[in-house]
Amino acid sequence: MWNIFVVIALTAGGLSLSIASTVEAIPLSSQDAQQELLNRRVTDLEEALEQLRNEYGARLATIEAEIAQLRDVQLGTTPDVAVTAEEGAAEVVGETMSEEERAELERKLAELLGEGRPETTGAGGQGSNQGAGRRFQSQTRNLNQLNPEISVTGDMSAVFADRTGDEEINQFRFNEFEASFQAPLDPYSSAKFFVVQEEGEFKVEEAYIDYNTLPAGLGIKAGQLRLDWGKLNRYHHHSLPQADRPAVHLAIWGEEGLTGLGTSLSWIPPSFLGGYNEVIVQVVNDANEVSFSGQGFDQPVFLVHETNYFDLSDASYIEVGLSAATGISGLDRWRPGDATREQADFDGGLRTQVFGTDWNFNWAPPETSLYRGFELRGEFLWQRRATNQGIINSWGAYTYGVYKLNRRAFVGLRGDYTQLPMEPGKSLWGASPYFEWWQSEWARFRVQYSYGSRQLEIPEPEHKFYVQLTWALGPHKHEKY
């Protein structure tokens, strides 16, 4: 192919020299005759040059089309075998190219087709002259294209506290082993599966199909979901910004968070507040026994979440979200002093409503965003839970700030406060400074100290120290929601 460009360049150079020679050869005695002769000569040369351009342009277009076809066959995106396209290219090129040009093109085609495929052979097993240099490709689809993206994440901690008798502290523990499988199913949908091992048991944390290319900004998910409440409920344990979940999440949603089997409908409308808006509506089986009944689809949980995004400057933005969820309370026969709903019979007549707002401020100067940045994030939750003894109102909040010291090191502080829904009049507060260092994109080390004015179950203060190591294999590290 390079020979073609050389021919064009030499031809153009020859035309230029010819024009120059013509100009020098014209005598100066008759200006009109000279000008007419020169114009005619230039016109003839332009026509010849245009003819050359058309000829070589058509030839190049044909060659490029054949190369593109061969590349598609190589990738398995067309049903033809490579030899068919190669023979077609040879027929076209053979009519218009010299032997040297054809040899050069065949060499480049061989590079495109790749090495390692068997050449055609004759009956005796030896490569025949007719088949020499020609390679075949199977019509079978590349098996790697059928495989999902597979990732594995490990998360372990050493947890120390100023109390004994709790199997979760003063020892090493494997917080979570997670295997994830993700793949597009077709142009319209994709699927994700997250299987985790916790405390010696395997369970499906999330498994859903995602239709994210629907018209009008719509999207649908169906399967086992972590619900879109606020910011952190969507996070798996290994991707949490601290070593533990905020106290208000533990008090209202429990250790597992708000999850369920069901469906989710999202809509990205034309922006009406800020630069971006999203509305999510979710309906799932009631699997949460902390704030709801835990009775499954007979009494589903409904959730609505709305997000607003605002650009403040080239270096900063803020997100503000609103959330609401409702389900059956499960405390129709609850008695004051019952610490858990397991001591209350489910009757189905009373409901729990939870309302919340979340915020996320991010600052990162474009010129130094790899090395400097600051994030301030938090949530406020208010719960109204109906019982046979009346309405129990409780609220809580957390906020944390994290500063980027350099490309790998971060320092942060989280503050917690929550009232205890099952112990009216009781509350706790806490503070958790932490430091984390990213060895690479695949490995993270974190140390954290947490103080709590009391524990959720025990009215005693607590000092807790975490040393956490998280690592990941494969393309999925954790999703930023």
Containing structural domain, residue 418: 149-473
- 350 vs 339: CA distance, rounded Å: 18
- 464 vs 455: CA distance, rounded Å: 11
Both 168 and 89 in a single domain?
no
Both 382 and 303 in a single domain?
yes
Cα–Cα distances (Å) from 109 to 130, 132, 198, in that order, read 17, 14, 53
Domain assignment of residue 428, yes or no: yes
Q: Give me the pLDDT at residue 36, please.
A: 73
Both 205 and 348 in a single domain?
yes
- 210 vs 221: CA distance, rounded Å: 5
Cα–Cα distances (Å) from 158 to 230, 325, 434, in that order, read 29, 35, 14
CATH, residue 339: 2.40.160.10
Both 234 and 371 in a single domain?
yes
Q: Give me the pLDDT at residue 300, please.
A: 92
| CB contact at 8 A, 226 and 205 | yes
Both 173 and 100 in a single domain?
no
Strands (E), 330-389: 351-363, 373-387
Domain assignment of residue 299, yes or no: yes
Both 88 and 192 in a single domain?
no
Among residues 88, 113, 138, which one ends one of the domains? 113
Task: Supply the DSSP string of 2-47, one letter for each residue.
Answer: HHHHHHHHHHHHHHHHHHHHHHHHS-SS-HHHHHHHHHHHHHHHHH
3-state class (DSSP) for residue 328: strand
Domain assignment of residue 317, yes or no: yes
Domain assignment of residue 120, yes or no: no
Angle between helices 99-113 and 2-25 (to 10 degrees): 140
Q: Give me the pLDDT at residue 387, please.
A: 83
Both 65 and 164 in a single domain?
no
Domain assignment of residue 89, yes or no: yes
- 228 vs 379: CA distance, rounded Å: 13
First-residue to last-residue Cα distance in the chain: 49
Our count of domains for the chain comes to: 2
Q: How many CB atoms lie within 10 A of CB 197?
A: 14
CA dihedral 135, 147, 156, 371 (to 10 degrees): 70
Phi–psi pair at 310, nearest 5 degrees:
-130, 125
Phi–psi pair at 238, nearest 5 degrees:
-70, -20
The rounded average pLDDT for each run of 10 residues, N- to C-terminus, in the chain (481 residues) is 44 46 46 72 77 73 74 54 44 56 70 50 46 49 72 94 71 90 94 89 94 94 97 93 96 94 96 92 93 82 97 96 93 55 52 96 94 97 89 96 97 98 91 97 96 89 95 74 43
Q: How many CB atoms lie within 10 A of CB 114?
A: 11
Domain assignment of residue 260, yes or no: yes
Both 331 and 376 in a single domain?
yes
Domain assignment of residue 243, yes or no: yes
Both 344 and 218 in a single domain?
yes
Domain assignment of residue 134, yes or no: no
- Pairing between β-strand 259-267 and β-strand 218-226 as defined by DSSP bridges: antiparallel
Q: What is the value of pTM for the model shown?
A: 0.68
Q: Which of 48, 69, 63 is nearest to 4 (CA)?
A: 63
Both 92 and 189 in a single domain?
no
- 313 vs 105: CA distance, rounded Å: 53
Q: Give me the pLDDT at residue 457, please.
A: 83
Continuous H helices in 254-347? none
Those residues whose C-beta lies under 8 Å from the C-beta of residue 421, and which sit 6 or more positions away, are: 251, 252, 291, 383, 385, 392, 394
Task: Supply the DSSP string of 166-228, one letter for each residue.
Answer: -TTSSEEEEEEEEEEEEEEEETTEEEEEEEEEETTEEEEEEEEEEE---GGGEEEEEEEEE--
Q: How many CB atoms lie within 10 A of CB 326?
A: 18
Both 169 and 103 in a single domain?
no
Both 261 and 372 in a single domain?
yes
| CB contact at 8 A, 439 and 445 | yes
Q: Give me the pLDDT at residue 475, please.
A: 82
